[in-house]
Amino acid sequence: MLLNDFDFVLPDELIAQFPADKRDESRLMMLDRKRRTINVGIFSEIDRQFRADDLLVINDTRVIPARLLGRKATGGKLEVFLVRRIPAPRERWLCMTKASRAPKPGSELIFPAGLTAVVLESDESGFRTLEFSYPGEFHDILEQIGRIPLPPYIRREDQELDRERYQTVFARHNGALAAPTAGLHFTPEILGQLRRQGVEVHAVTLHVGLGTFLPVRSSDLRQHRMHAEDYSISLETATAINLARREGRRVIALGTTTTRALESAAVDGVVEAGDGSTKLYILPGYRFQVIDGLFTNFHLPKSTLLMLVSAFAGRDFILSAYQRAVAERFRFFSYGDAMLIV
C-alpha cells in the first residue's frame, strides 16, 4: 500500500474552523460494512442506532492547555509546547520550543504565575527536556496561563469557547494534547438516553499525543512509525467488554483513540486491564480483535486515522463515503461532523 492510496480531494472550506452551535447538532453519516450502505442523519438522533444490549466504550482523557507563552531569562520571547510528561520526582516534560534562538541546556525560562523552567537537555530531533518549578499545583497553573493546543488545520488562535468545546463532556484525566474528537458530539442528555435504553457505557483513558498531528512522510506505509501514547484500562471496563464479547453483544468504540487502546490491550481477543503504552499502527489487513462498531470524525487525506477506518470498513468503501461527504458538504476534522461504522 502506498500513501497516495489514501488521498482524496478536500476543499478547504469544508474544514471546520469552529464547532457547531450545539454539540449534537452535527450531521451523522452511517455506514454498514456488511450491506455496503450509506445513510445520513443528525447526531441528536444517535440513540436510534443502538441496540439495548450494546456496550459503548469512551475515552475519558482530558486535553491540557499545553501551549505556554513566556520568555528566556535573557529576554527573548518563546513558546513551549508540552509533549509528554517524564516520570520523575519533579515535574519534567518533553517539550517543543519556538523562539528566535533555541534555548540551550541550562537556560532558564520564565512564564506568568510564578512558573519557571530549566532546559535539562535537547536531542537531535529538536525536542527538549524541561524541569518546571512553580508555587501550588502544576495543572492549576496550566489552567490559568496555558493555551488550548488546537490542531494546525484550525487556522485561528484558541478562544475561550475552545476550553469547553475542545473537550468532551466526560473528560476526567489530564494528559491529552488533542481531543478524542468523536466524543465531542456527545452530551450528558444523549449518554443518559443511551443508558436508559440499556446501553452500557464504560471508559478507557488514552492520552492523545503529538503523533495525531504528524503527517505520514513515506510513500511506503510500512516505513511509518507511530509515536507512543499512554493508556489505562480499568478492571471493570475490561471485565464488561470481555463479558459482552462472550455473550455476542456489540462493542462499539467511541473514536480511533479508544479503538487503539482496546486493540493494544487485547490478547487473543481478550482485553487485559492495566496501564500501557501503544504505538499500534492499524492498516488495511489488520484483524480487529475487540470492536464491532466505530464512531469517528472525518479525517485528513493520507492520515493514519483514515488508514485505521479503512482497515475497519474497507478502503474503497470509506473513500466512496468520503466522496459523498464532500459532495454533500459535510464538515471535516476535529470540529466537523461524525461517522458511525457498524
Specify burial of residue 79 (Cβ count, 10 A radius: 0-12, 13-18, 19+): middle
Task: Please name the fold of domain 3-63+162-341.
Answer: QueA-like (3.40.1780)
Query: How many other C-beta atoms can be found within 10 angstroms of the C-beta atom of residue 173?
Result: 14
**Region(s) of the chain under CATH 3.40.1780.10:** 3-63+162-341
Question: pLDDT at position 52, please?
Answer: 96
Question: pLDDT at position 12, please?
Answer: 97
Run of H or E including 245: helix 235-246
User: Nearest to residue 63, comparing CAs of 155, 165, 141?
Assistant: 165
Question: What is the chain's pLDDT, residue by residue, as a tens digit (342 residues)?
Answer: 899 999 999 999 999 999 999 999 999 999 999 999 999 999 999 999 999 999 999 999 999 999 999 999 999 999 999 998 998 889 999 999 999 999 999 999 999 999 999 999 998 878 999 999 999 999 999 999 999 999 999 999 999 999 999 999 999 999 999 999 999 999 999 999 999 999 999 999 999 998 776 789 899 999 999 988 999 999 999 999 999 999 999 999 999 999 999 999 999 999 999 999 999 999 999 999 999 999 999 999 999 999 999 999 999 999 999 999 999 999 999 999 999 999
Q: Please give the grid coordinates belonging to residue 327.
A: 459532495
Run of H or E including 258: helix 256-265
The Cα 120–Cα 122 span in angstroms is: 7
| Helix/strand/coil (H/E/C) assignment for every residue in 84-153 | EEECCCCEEEEEEEEECCCCCCCCEEECHHHCEEEEEEECCCCCEEEEEECCCCHHHHHHHHCECCCCCC
Q: Tell me the torsion sign for CA atoms 190, 193, 199, 202.
A: positive
178 contacts: CB under 8 Å, gap ≥ 6: 63, 149, 151, 208, 209, 212, 213, 334
Question: pLDDT at position 111, please?
Answer: 98
The Cα 69–Cα 234 span in angstroms is: 36
The Cα 60–Cα 30 span in angstroms is: 24
What SS3 state is found at 321?
A: helix
What does the angle CA 326 – CA 151 – CA 251 come to, to the nearest 5 degrees? 70
Question: pLDDT at position 215, please?
Answer: 85
CATH of span 67-145: 2.40.10.240
- Bridge partners (DSSP) of residue 92 are 86, 131
Please identify which residue in the block is written with the cell numbers 487473543: 268
pLDDT digits (tens, 9 = 90+) for 121-159: 998 878 999 999 999 999 999 999 999 999 999 999 999
What's the DSSP call for residue 2? B
Question: pLDDT at position 124, please?
Answer: 80
Question: pLDDT at position 88, please?
Answer: 85
**Region(s) of the chain under CATH 2.40.10.240:** 67-145
